[in-house]
Each structure stands twice: as structure tokens, then as C-alpha cells.
């Protein structure tokens, strides 16, 4: 009984409606986390916490204690975010595993011989028959003509031959179903990257006074010491670039680094950004933002994979043509195409006309087109 319950639950999670509901549940949490400030990740009772709470009370007034009790200021570290995010990841995995087999079979399982029931259900069909009742044995000649016609129309051809029948199958963009599989996998990869960022990532704002030091913290032994600040100006006196010089005092040896606007320095996997500066006499204090985000490359990779899947889905429509040739000289054409293959109707008609012309066969009146 338990395996059946688990299977039903797994199938339920893979339903598109469940995925949509989980995404809708996540959106308000992400929106609140974006609009409302989040508590810095420092030890409880630290001076930064007290300063942050004072600023929150100034901004939100009497609502600030209530928001803090509810956990709005810690949304990224509460079940309000992790529970729907984890369920969405599991549901996406179930969807990938359940639908991935179908996408894989559609791309790589390409039998040349198909049952009559499938051929009868084709969106496009056509029968070419000899004009006279008695026709010579032309099985080999007709199969060669049909194979060359499919090649001319840029189809990848497979065939299966028996003494009395020849089956030909032509596929174009047969790997296109993998685009949908790539999109599902990309969503799962992006969710994993978001989880890594929320679970292991951190950011810290460091204020370095002239000649002073600041510790990065978060398990690192990196200490930054200010070594100068420069403002490069244009000829008219307007600032062109800002550059902060720092010395990495932690680690086995001290290193000199420069941090500019949009030119971060990478230290122990963390990126150091120049966030601001303020003059103190004839020198400057700089504000450095230290960010460690292990999920960022994962999210970028997932985004690129999702973009590739969309490109494949939009611009590489799959189409397939099956031709069955009998020894009495009859050809049965059946065709399928994705909805994005807009020109498949005319292409199927051109292929039928080419075969009629080259084989001297006549088209049956029972032809059917998907546009009808």
C-alpha cells in the first residue's frame, strides 16, 4: 500500500498545476524579501544588529517589532521560503523524471515500421497507386526513389526491409524534444543554485578607515587593510574612475589588490566590490562589499541551458514522414509535425507531388492534410 501511496504522491507532484501553485506561493515571499530589508548575518547581540534594528524602527515605526516577531526580516532563513522552495525542487525533479523518459524516447526511439493504427491517425496522409490494376514488381526501384526524395527534402532517413514491404522514415530536427527536457533540467539547476546561495552564501559590508583594517569574517581569515584611494579625473575635472588599494593581511603572505567600480577583486572565493567612499581630511574611508555566492555560477549555467532549450523549441520544429511501399507498387505517406512547423503542409504536398512525378503513380483521393 505504501509504494502505491508514494507513487500517487510522486505523480501528483509532477502535475503542472502543482508546480504553478508552488511558484505562486513562492512569489509573495520573494517579493517581501526583496522589498523589506533582511537582518545581517552576524552573531546575535552584535552591535550591527542593534544599529540595524534602530534603523528599522525609524523606517517602519510601530510595525517594526511586529514584523520582526513574524520573521519578515529573516525570510531567507525561515521555512516560509525553504519549504515551498524545497517542494518546488522536488516537484520539478518529479516532472523531469516522469516526462524526461517521453522526451528521450521521442528523440532517440525512431522505429521505421509503425502499426496501421498510428499511420491512420497521422495528421497528413497520402496514398500513391499505379494507374492500372496490374503493376510490375518495382519494390526496389520505388524504395530508392522515395529514399532520394526524402534526402532532397533534408530528412534523415531510416529504413526497414522485408521481402514484400519497405518502410522508410524521414526525421528532421529529431533531437528537438530534448529542448523541452533541457528547460525542465534548467529550472531544477536554477533552484539548486538558489538553494546554494541562500544556504551557503553571505555578504558583508566592510568600512575601512584610512590606514585601518577590517575582517571579512564568515569563517575566513582574511583581513583587509586600507592602502589608499585614488580618483582619476577627466581634463574637465569630472571623475572618471575610483580605485581603492587594499592589502590582504590574512593568509600566509600579504597581497596588494586594487578594487575599482565594476572591477571586483576575488579573494578566497568571495568578491570584493567598491561600494562607496567618504573623505576624512585629505584621505578617504572606503566601503567594501564582500559577497560569497556559490550558487551564482550554477544559476547562470541553468539560465544558459534554459535559453538553449527555448531556442531549440522555437526554431527547430520537429517533423517526420513515414513511407510504406508494397510490392504491388503502392506508396503510403504519413506525416507528423510540431505546431511550429508552419510550412509542413506545403512541404508534404511537394514531397507527394515529387514522388508522383518520379514514379508515374497517381495520388489517391483519400489524401488528408492537417490544415483541413
Where does the pLDDT of residue 97 fall: very low under 50, low under 70, confident under 90, or very high at 90 and above?
Answer: confident
Least confident interval from 44-53, 73-82, 97-106, 234-243:
44-53
- Mean pLDDT over 274-290 rounds to 88
Closest CA to 273 of 206, 209, 353: 206
Average pLDDT for the chain: 84
Rounded average pLDDT over 172-201? 89
Q: What's the average model confidence in pLDDT over 152-162?
A: 92
Q: Is the pLDDT of residue 93 over 80?
A: yes
Per-residue pLDDT, averaged over 43-58, amounts to 68
Model confidence at 371, pLDDT cuts 50, 70, 90, reads very low
Of the ranges 183-187, 222-226, 294-298, 339-343, which one carries the lowest mean pLDDT score? 339-343
Is residue 367's pLDDT more than 70?
A: no
Q: pLDDT-based confidence at 153, cuts 50/70/90?
A: very high
Handedness of CA 163, 165, 171, 176 (dihedral sign): negative
pLDDT top residue among 339 and 183: 183
Rounded mean pLDDT, 8-26: 83
Residue 9 is classified by DSSP as H
Mean pLDDT to the nearest integer, 135-161:
88
User: Is a pLDDT exceeding 70 seen at residue 42?
Assistant: no
**Of the options 3.40.50, 2.60.40, 3.30.160, 3.40.109, the CATH number for the domain spanning 110-176+316-363:** 3.30.160
pLDDT (mean) for 172-177: 89
pLDDT score, position 156:
92
- Packing angle, helices 296-315 and 177-200, rounded to 10: 160
At residue 365 the predicted structure's pLDDT band, cuts being 50, 70 and 90, is low
Q: How would you list the strands of the sheet with 270-280, edge to edge?
A: 202-208, 283-292, 270-280, 265-267
Asked whether the predicted pLDDT for residue 88 surpasses 70, the reply is yes
Q: Per-residue pLDDT averaged across 296-321, rounded?
A: 92
Residue 303: what pLDDT? 95
Res 239: pLDDT: 85
Q: Residues 232, 239: contact at Cβ < 8 Å?
A: yes
| pLDDT score for 240 | 87
- Sketch the domain layout of the chain as residue ranges: 2-81, 110-176+316-363, 202-290
Q: pLDDT: is 98 or 133 the higher one?
A: 98
Q: Give buried/exposed letters for 148-157 (b at 16+ CB in 10 A, else e).
A: ebbeebebeb
* Rounded average pLDDT over 138-167: 91
Count the Cβ atoms, other than its own, within 10 Å of residue 188.
19
Res 1: pLDDT: 45
* Percentage with pLDDT > 90 across the chain: 22
Alpha helices in the chain (DSSP H): 2-13, 16-35, 47-60, 63-70, 79-108, 116-120, 139-152, 177-200, 296-315, 344-359
Q: How confident is the model at residue 6 (pLDDT cuts 50, 70, 90)?
A: confident
* pLDDT of 136 above 80: no
What pLDDT, on the 0 to 100 scale, is given for residue 149?
93
Amino acid at each position: 500500500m505504501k509504494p502505491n501511496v508514494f507513487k500517487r504522491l510522486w505523480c501528483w507532484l509532477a502535475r503542472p498545476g502543482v508546480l504553478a501553485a508552488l511558484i505562486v506561493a513562492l512569489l509573495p515571499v520573494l517579493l517581501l524579501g526583496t522589498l523589506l530589508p533582511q537582518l545581517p548575518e552576524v552573531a546575535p547581540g552584535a552591535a550591527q544588529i542593534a544599529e540595524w534594528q534602530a534603523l528599522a524602527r525609524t523606517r517602519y515605526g510601530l510595525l517594526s517589532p511586529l514584523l520582526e516577531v513574524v520573521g519578515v526580516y529573516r525570510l531567507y532563513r525561515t521555512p516560509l521560503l525553504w519549504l515551498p522552495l524545497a517542494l518546488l525542487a522536488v516537484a520539478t525533479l518529479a516532472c523531469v523524471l516522469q516526462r524526461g523518459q517521453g522526451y528521450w524516447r521521442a528523440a532517440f526511439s525512431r522505429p521505421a515500421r509503425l502499426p496501421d493504427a498510428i499511420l491512420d491517425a497521422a495528421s497528413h496522409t497520402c496514398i500513391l497507386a499505379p494507374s492500372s490494376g496490374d503493376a510490375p514488381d518495382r519494390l526496389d526501384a520505388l524504395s530508392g526513389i522515395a529514399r532520394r526524395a526524402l534526402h532532397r527534402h533534408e530528412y534523415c532517413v531510416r529504413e526497414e526491409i522485408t521481402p514484400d514491404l519497405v518502410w522508410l522514415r524521414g526525421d528532421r530536427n529529431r533531437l528537438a524534444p530534448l529542448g523541452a527536457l533541457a528547460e525542465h533540467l534548467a529550472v531544477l539547476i536554477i533552484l539548486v543554485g538558489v538553494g546554494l546561495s541562500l544556504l551557503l552564501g553571505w555578504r558583508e559590508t566592510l568600512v575601512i578607515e584610512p590606514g585601518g583594517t577590517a575582517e571579512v569574517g564568515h569563517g575566513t581569515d582574511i583581513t583587509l587593510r586600507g592602502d589608499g584611494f585614488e580618483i582619476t579625473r577627466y581634463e574637465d575635472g569630472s571623475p572618471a574612475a575610483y580605485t581603492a588599494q587594499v592589502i590582504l593581511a590574512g593568509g600566509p603572505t600579504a597581497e596588494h589588490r586594487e578594487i575599482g567600480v565594476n572591477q571586483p577583486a576575488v579573494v578566497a572565493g568571495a568578491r570584493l566590490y567598491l561600494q562607496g567612499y567618504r573623505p576624512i581630511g585629505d584621505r578617504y574611508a572606503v566601503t567594501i562589499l564582500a559577497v560569497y555566492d556559490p550558487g551564482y555560477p550554477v544559476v547562470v549555467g541553468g539560465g544558459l541551458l534554459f535559453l538553449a532549450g527555448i531556442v531549440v523549441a522555437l526554431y527547430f520544429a520537429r517533423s517526420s514522414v513515414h513511407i510504406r511501399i508494397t510490392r504491388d507498387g503502392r506508396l503510403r505517406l504519413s506525416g507528423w509535425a510540431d505546431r511550429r512547423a508552419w510550412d509542413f503542409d506545403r512541404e508534404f504536398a511537394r514531397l507527394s507531388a515529387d514522388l508522383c512525378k518520379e514514379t508515374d503513380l497517381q495520388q489517391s483521393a483519400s489524401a488528408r492534410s492537417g490544415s483541413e
